[in-house]
Amino acid sequence: MSRGRPWGHRTFALGVAITASLVLTAMLSLVYTPQDPLAMSITARLRAPSAEHPFGTDQYGRDVLSRVMRGALTSIAVGVIAVGIGAAVGVLLGIASGYTRGWLDEACMRLIDALQGFPAILSALLFAAVFTPGVVISMVAIGIAFVPAFARLTRAAFLELAPREFVVAARALGARDARLVLRHILPNTLPPLIIQATTSFPVAILAEAALAYLGLGTQPPQPSWGLMLKDAQNFLSLNPWFAVFPGGAIALTVLGLNLLGDGLRDLLDPKTA
C-alpha cells in the first residue's frame, strides 16, 4: 500500500471512481435522461432490455435506465441529509457527554444506548404511524440510527483531549468553554468523524432503499431504487430484468462507497490499515 499517495491506493482509487460515477450520473440526470423518467407508455410495458430501453421498462412502460439514473439523486440526497442529521445530533450529544461529565454524561450515555435499540426501520415504523410516510421520515429515521456512533466517537475524543496540555493551557489563558470546545477540541476530533461519515453513507443508501421498499420512505412517482424493487417484485416472472438493474445499482453504489471508506481509513488512520 502506498500511504500518502491516495491514487496509488487501489481500494481508494476504485472507490473514488465508482462514487464519482454515481455523483456524475445523479447530476447528469438533472439535465439529461435517455427518456422522461415519469413518462408512461401503455404499449411498452415490462419490456426486456433493448437498444431503445437498455434496462427495459417497468409496469407503466417507463424507462428503467432513466429511473435508475434519477434514483441515484434520491439516494444521494437522502444519504447526505441523513448522515448530516446523525452527525449533528450525535456530535452535540457527544460534546454534552464528554465535556461536561457527571450526571449529564450518564444521562446522555443511557439515551445513546436507548437510541441503539432503534435501527432505521424501527424509527421509520414509529414515525410513519403518526406522520405521513415519505422521504423526510426516511432521512430522520436513518439519521437517528447514526446518532449513537457519532456521539460515542465525539465523547471518546473529548474524554481523551480535554485533559491534554494545549486545552489546559488555553483554559489557563482565559478561554471560555465555547472557545475551548469549538476552537481547540472539536477540530482535533474531525478525522474519525469524517471516516464515520464516509462509512455511514453507504449504510444510509441501503436503509433508504429498504424504507422505500417497505413503503415507509420515498413515495411514488418519485424514482427510488427501493421503490423500483418493490414494483419489480410483482412482475418477477414476466420481466426479471426489472428487479436486476435497480438492485445492481444499489449494490454497486454501496460497494464503491465502502471501498472509498476503507481506503480513506487506511490513508487517514494508518494504525488500522
Partner 1 sequence: MRRYVLRRVATLVATLFFVSALVFVVIRVLPGDPALIIMGTEGSPEAVARLREALGLNRPLAVQYGDWLRRALAGDLGVSIQYDVPVSRLILSRLPLTLPLMLMAATLMLLTALPLGLYAATRHRRVGDYAAMVLSQVGIAVPSFWAGLLLILLFSVRLGWVQSGGFAGWAGGVWPGVRSLLLPAVALGFFQAAVLVRATRSSVLDVLREDYVRTARAKGVSEVRVLGKHTLRNALIPIVTVAGIQLGQLMAGSIILESVFALPGIGRLALGAITARDLPVVQGVTLFVASCIVLINFAVDLLYGVLDPRIRYE
Nearest to partner 1 of 185, 205 (CB atom): 205
CB-based contacts of 194-197 (< 8 A; 24+ apart in sequence): 194/264, 194/268, 195/261, 195/264, 195/265, 195/268, 195/269, 196/87, 196/149, 196/150, 196/153, 197/83, 197/87
Longest dimension (CA), the chain: 77
Query: Which residue is associated with the grid cell 453504489?
Result: 253
Select the span of 50-58, 76-84, 115-123, 263-271 touching partner 1 (CB under 8 A): 115-123
Smallest separation (angstroms) from partner 1 to the CB of 130: 4
What angle (nearest 5°) sits at the alpha carbon of residue 55, between those of residues 53 and 56?
60
The neighbour count for residue 244, using CB atoms within 10 Å, is 16
Q: Residue type at 161? A: L
Smallest separation (angstroms) from partner 1 to the CB of 174: 36
Which region, left, alpha or beta, applies to residue 266 given φ > 0 means left and ψ of -120 to 50 means alpha? alpha
Smallest separation (angstroms) from partner 1 to the CB of 110: 4
22: contact with partner 1 by CB under 8 A: no
Under DSSP, is residue 193 helix (H, G, I), strand (E, B) or coil?
A: helix
Nearest to partner 1 of 114, 168 (CB atom): 114
229: contact with partner 1 by CB under 8 A: yes
76: contact with partner 1 by CB under 8 A: no
Nearest to partner 1 of 127, 185 (CB atom): 127
Nearest to partner 1 of 149, 161 (CB atom): 149
258: contact with partner 1 by CB under 8 A: yes
10: contact with partner 1 by CB under 8 A: no
Q: Residue type at 163? A: P
Q: Residue type at 11? A: T
Could you give the dihedral angle defined by the CA atoms of residues 179, 180, 182 and 187, in that order, rounded to the nearest 10 degrees? 140
From CA 69, how far away is CA 46, in angstroms rounded?
18
C-alpha cell recorded at residue 209: 432503499
1: contact with partner 1 by CB under 8 A: no
Under DSSP, is residue 262 helix (H, G, I), strand (E, B) or coil?
A: helix
Select the span of 87-95, 168-176, 184-192, 225-233 touching partner 1 (CB under 8 A): 225-233
Nearest to partner 1 of 100, 234 (CB atom): 234
Nearest to partner 1 of 44, 216 (CB atom): 216
Q: Which of 16, 78, 83, 115 binds partner 1 (CB under 8 A)?
A: 115
133: contact with partner 1 by CB under 8 A: yes
192: contact with partner 1 by CB under 8 A: no
73: contact with partner 1 by CB under 8 A: no
The closest of 22, 13, 153 to 76, measured between CA atoms, is 22
C-alpha cell recorded at residue 148: 449513537
Please give the backbone phi and psi of residue 6, each rounded to the nearest 5 degrees, phi first. Answer: -55, -40
Q: Which of 118, 136, 156, 219 binds partner 1 (CB under 8 A)?
A: 118
- List interacting residues with partner 1 (CB under 8 A): 106, 110-111, 113-122, 125-131, 133, 202, 206, 209-210, 213-216, 229, 232-233, 236-237, 240, 243-244, 247, 250-252, 254-255, 258-259
